[in-house]
Structure 1
Amino acid sequence: MQMPVAVSVLWLLLVTGSLVGANFARVEEKLEALLDTETQLIDELRDYIERLELQLEEIQRETSAIEEIHSQVDNVEEYMGNPLNVLTILKRFESVWPRLEQQANATYLFDLGEGFSDRGITLPTEEDYEESLSQLLHLQSVYELESASLSLGVVNGLKLGSAMSWGDCLEVARKSDFSVARFWLETALEKLPSASENSTESHRERESGRVQILEATLNIEYRAGDLSRALETAEQLLLLLPMNQNVQKAKRKIEKALAKKELPKGKGQKSKTKTKVSKSTEQLLIEELCRGATQETTTGSRFNHCHLEGSTPWSLLQPARLEFLSSDPHIVLHHNVLTPKQVDQMLELIDEVEGLKGVTYQPLKLSKMGQKKLRRIPNLLGYEAGDQDPWMARRYGHEHTTKLEDNAELKHAARAMLNLQSPGMGGAVVFPQLELGVNVPRGSVLHWHTRSAGGSSSEWDYRTGVAVCPVLLGVQMSAWSGLN
C-alpha cells in the first residue's frame, strides 16, 4: 500500500502549510507536536517489531520441536500403534496447536486513528492534507517546478526533501489540473518497479500500479475533454484488463462521443478548456518575475552608492549604502539599515494578532518598544518622524498566495518595507508594471514613492503596485509602513 504524499518532508512545506490563517507560533507548535507524534509512533513500532520477533522465536521453537518428533515417524501404522504417541498427538491438537494459532494470529493494538484518540497525541486531519497538497500545486504553478525534480525532493537544483513514491505522484495528479496532472502521471509511471526486478512482489506492484495510473489517466483525460487520448488510454487498460466491464463501458462511451463530435479534433477540446479560469496577463507577469527573482541573489542594479547625509548627527556618523532601482518612480533599496543583532531584537518584539486572517500574508503586531526602535528609519529615508504611520509586521509562508497590492487604496506618498527574516527561497517583492523583482536582504529597507512626481499629491502612480512572491522555503518576516 502506498503512503500519503510526502510533501510534509519536502518543504516542512506542506505540514506547516496546512494551517492556513493560523499564527506562526501556533504553526510551529503544531509542527513540533506532529514531530513528537512521529517519534512516539517510531518508538511504538520498534516495540511492536521486538514483540513480534520474540513471538516468532517462540513459534519457531515450538515448530522445530514438533518437526523433530515428526521426523522420527518411519511407519505411520507402527507409530500410531503406540498409545503414548496417540496421546501426544491428541494433546498437541488440544493444547499446542491452538496456542500456536493464537500466537500467530495475535496482534498488539496499534491503531493510528482510534487507538490514539484518547491519548492526546496530535495527528494531521484530512483537511490539513488536502490544503497542503493544494499549496504544493500553487507553488509548482507559480515557479514552474518540474514534476520529475519535485518528486525527488529537488527544487531549483537544491535537495530540500525526500523522494516521493509512485503512489504519491498519482495522488498529486488526481488533485491537479489536466495540464499539470499529465506530468505527474508520467512521473508516477517512471517510479514503478522496473521490469528487471523479478521478484513476485515487485511484479505485482508494477502491474497494480500501472492499472491504477492508467485508470486515473483515463478519468482525467475524459474530464478534460481530450477524448482521443482517453480512447488510447482505455485501449491500453483493456490490454491489461480485457474482461473489465467498466473499462469496456468507458471505451464505448468515448467512441460514441467521438462519433457525435462535429467539430475537428482539438477545437472541441479548446472550447472545453475555456471554462477554466485563466490567469490574467498581470498575474502571469508577476509569476515570471517571481521565477526570475528566485534565480538571483541580488537585484542586479548598476547604481550602488555610498551616501553620506549630514543633516543629523547620527546620519553623519553612519553612511548609507543605497541601491537605486528606479528613478521614475523613485525606488531605492537601503542596505544594512539594521545590524543582525538589532534584527534579532526586533523579531522578539513582534506580537500575534488574534482573530485576523490574511490572504496574501499573516498580519502581526509590532510592540511599542519595536515602534520606538524603528523611529530613526523615516529620517534615513528623508521624512520626519511624524509623517510615518505605525509599522505593521507581516509573516509570509508557502501557504500564502500572491496578489497585487493596490496602493491606490492607500493615502501614502511613499511606502517602506523592512525585511527582518529572509526565506530560504522565494519571497521577492515585485513591481509588475516595471518588470522589476527585488530580493530585500535581511536588515535592509525597500523604499518607493507611490505618487506621480509631476502630478498632484493625490495622484496615484499605478506603476508602484507591488506583490510579494510565495515563499518556497522557510518564512519571511517583514515590517511595512506608509510615509506621508
Structure 2
Amino acid sequence: IVYSNSVASMVKLLEMEDALLENLSAYANELQEKLETIKLYEQLLKKRPRMKSYEAAEEYVANPLNALALLRRLQQDWPKWLKYIKADSLQLEQMEERLKQAPSKRDLRNAVSKLLHLENFYDLETSHMIKGLLLEQQYDAQLDSVDCFALGNYLFRRNAFSRSTHWYRNAIRIYKEPYSKIYSKVYGVKLHKIYRQYARAIANETYILEKPKDKSTQEWAAAGAIVTRLVEDAKNKDIKRLIEQYLAGDEQIFIKDRARLRVKPTQLQSACRAESPTPSSSNLYCRYDRESSAFLKLAALKIEMLRLQPAVKLFHQVLHDKEIATLKQWSKEQTNWSSTSAVKSYALPADQLRLVDKLNSRIADMMQLDIAKHQELHLLNYGLGAHLGDPRCKSNSKSKHVACQLQGNYTKQATSSRQATMLFAASTVPLGGAVVFPKMQLTLKLPKGSALFWSNLNAIGKRDALANYVICPVLVGSRW
C-alpha cells in the first residue's frame, strides 16, 4: 500500500500510530511492572546473608536447605530471569557467561534426591523442614514454594505419590504475595498448576495405597484411570475449591496422620538418629599415653577406650587448627579430585605436603604399629546428605545397592590388607554424620581435631565383621 499519494491513506497511518502509542504505553507499563518484579527479587536475595569468610560460606552451604535452594536457584531460576528481562546489556552478557558454569540439571536432581533421602532417613517433618527446623534445631534457612514444588515433582515422577503430597501441600500454603508474582510471571509456576498437581498426587496416592481386596488388578487399574481422567478434565476453579476445602484444617492434622502411618526405623536409622543408646561397659577407661615414644613425654595423647575387642579408641585433640587450615587451603588449589555422588577425595602427596610425614609419625605413635613412613593418606569432603558404608555391603562386594555404591573406594571395610583404620575428624558436624558400628551397637560423634582408631582383624588375623562401620548421612555441616 502507498500512503503518501492519498490523504485518506495517511489517516490510516495516524490510526496505526495511535495504536502503536497504545502498544508503547502498555509496554512501558509492562516494563515498570517488570522493574518492580526485579526489585522484589533483589530484595528477596538481599535477605540471604553475605559471607565475609570462606568458613562462613562453607557453614552456610553445609545446611542442606540452603544448599538445595542455592542449587535450584542457579540451575532453574536465574536462566528464567535472563529470559524474563530480554534486554541487551553488558550485565546480561556477564550473567550469561557466568551461568555457563551454573549447576547442571543432573546436579540439581542429585541435590533434590539427597535432600529427600535426608527427609526419609531422619524422619523429618516436611512443614518443619521448609522453615529450617531440623531435628528440633532451628536454622536460619528455609525453602520457598517453588522449591517445594520441585521436590514434589521429583517424587511424583518416581511414583512416590504419598510423599509428594506433603511437598505440594506446603507449596500451596506458602504461595503468598508479594512473591507469587515472581513465581507465576518469571518461573511459570502458577498456583493453579500446584493445585492440579496436588490433586493428581492425591488421586494416585489413593489408587496405589487403598486397593480393596475384592477388586482385581484390572478393575482397580480401570478405576485409577477414571479418577485420573476426572482430575485432568476438572476446571481449575473446581480443583482450587476442593483443595482449599481439604486444606481448611490445621497442618497438625496432616502431621499426626503421617505419624500414624510411619514405619518402624531400621537399626541403622535409630543409631544415626541417636534413638538407640550405646551400651556401656565398666571395663572402659580414659588415659594419657606418655610412653609410646619420646615425643609423647612432652605432648601426651588423650585416649578414650571405647571397646576392648575389637579395639576401638578415640584420640582427642590430635589434629590441630593450623594443620586443618593447611589441608583445606591445599584442597582449594586442587582440580583433580576423585569423586562419587557422596564425597570428593584426594590422596595427600608426601612430596608436596610436609604435613603428611608429620601426620604419619603421629599415627605411628597413636597406633603403636610399625607403618610405612609414606603411608598414603586421603582427604575427604562429604557432599550434600552424604554417607559412607553400609552393613549390607561386604568387602570387595559388587552389590548394586545404592548404599554400597556410595561406599565406593573410600570405606572398603576391614580387608586382610588393612590391619587397622585411623579416621581423623577435621570438622565438627552439627547434625548427622555419626560413625556407627552396627554389630557393636556403637554410635560416635567425632569432635573436631579427634581421631578414631579401630582394629580390622581378629585374634587369628581374619577380617572382623564387628569392625564394619557406617558414616551416617550428614544433615547439617561440612564433614572433613
TM-score norm. by structure 2 comes to: 0.59
Match of 2:455 in 1: 449
Q: Residues 385-424 of structure 1 correspond to what in structure 2 (within 5 A)?
A: 385-386=371-372, 389-398=375-384, 400-404=386-390, 405-424=411-430
Q: Show the 5 A alignment for 1:88-167.
A: 93=15, 95=17, 98-105=20-27, 110-111=82-83, 119-122=96-99, 123-156=102-135, 157-165=137-145, 167=146
User: Cα offset for 1:217?
Assistant: 2.5
Shift of 1:359: 5.0
1:299 and 1:439 in contact (8 A); partners too = no
Q: Is 2:468 the partner of 1:475?
A: no
Match of residue 202, structure 2, among 203, 209, 217: 217
> Is residue 358 from structure 1 mapped to residue 340 from structure 2 by the alignment?
yes
Question: What CA distance in whole angstroms lies between the structure 2 residues aligned with 1:445 and 1:363?
Answer: 18
Instruction: Tell me if the contact between 2:387 and 2:433 (Cα under 8 Å) persists in the aligned partners.
Output: no
Q: CA deviation at 1:449?
A: 0.8
- Give the superposition deviation at 1:310: 2.5
- 1:61-460 equivalences under 5 Å are 93=15, 95=17, 98-105=20-27, 110-111=82-83, 119-122=96-99, 123-156=102-135, 157-165=137-145, 167-176=146-155, 177-188=160-171, 190-191=173-174, 209-222=194-207, 224=208, 226-227=210-211, 284-292=266-274, 303=284, 305-350=286-331, 352=334, 354=336, 356-358=338-340, 360-368=342-350, 369-374=354-359, 375-386=361-372, 389-398=375-384, 400-404=386-390, 405-452=411-458, 455-457=459-461, 459-460=462-463
Amino acid in structure 1 at the alignment position of 2:310: P
Structure 2, unaligned runs of 5 or more: 1-10, 32-80, 178-183, 185-189, 213-219, 240-262, 391-410
Q: CA deviation at 1:366?
A: 1.4
For the residue of structure 2 that corresponds to 1:136, the secondary structure is: helix
Check conservation: 1:170, 1:184, Cα contact below 8 A.
yes
Local SS of the residue matching 2:319: coil
Deviation at 1:336, TM superposition (A): 0.5
**AA paired with 1:211?**
R
2:258 aligns with: none
Higher CA-based Rg: 1
2:62 aligns with none
Q: Structure 1 pair 91/236, CA: closer, same or farther in 2 (3 Å)?
A: closer
Note the C-alpha offset of 1:326: 1.3
Which structure exhibits the higher relative contact order, with contacts defined as CA atoms closer than 8 Å and separated by 6 or more residues?
A: 1
Which residue of 443, 450, 469 corresponds with 1:466? Answer: 469
Does structure 2 conserve the Cα–Cα contact (< 8 Å) formed by 1:349 and 1:370? Answer: no
Would the aligned equivalents of 2:200 and 2:228 in 1 still touch at CA under 8 Å? Answer: no
Secondary structure of 1:409 counterpart: coil
Q: Identity, % of aligned pairs?
A: 20
**Match of 1:161, as an amino acid?**
A
**TM-aligned CA distance change 1:136 to 1:117, over 3 Å:** farther
Aligned-CA RMSD value = 4.5
* AA matched with 1:456: I
Tell me by how many angstroms 1:406 deviates: 4.5
Structure 1 residue 467: deviation in Å? 1.6
CA shift, 1:97, in A, is: 5.4
Query: In the superposition, relative to structure 1, how do residues 146 and 434 fare at CA in structure 2: closer, same or farther (>3 Å)?
Result: same
| C-alpha distance in structure 2 between counterparts of 1:332 and 1:138, whole Å | 31
- Deviation per CA, 1:385-418: give whole Å up to 9, x if none: 4388321221212253443344243512211011
Change (3 A) 1:110 1:376: closer
Q: TM-score, normalised by structure 1?
A: 0.58
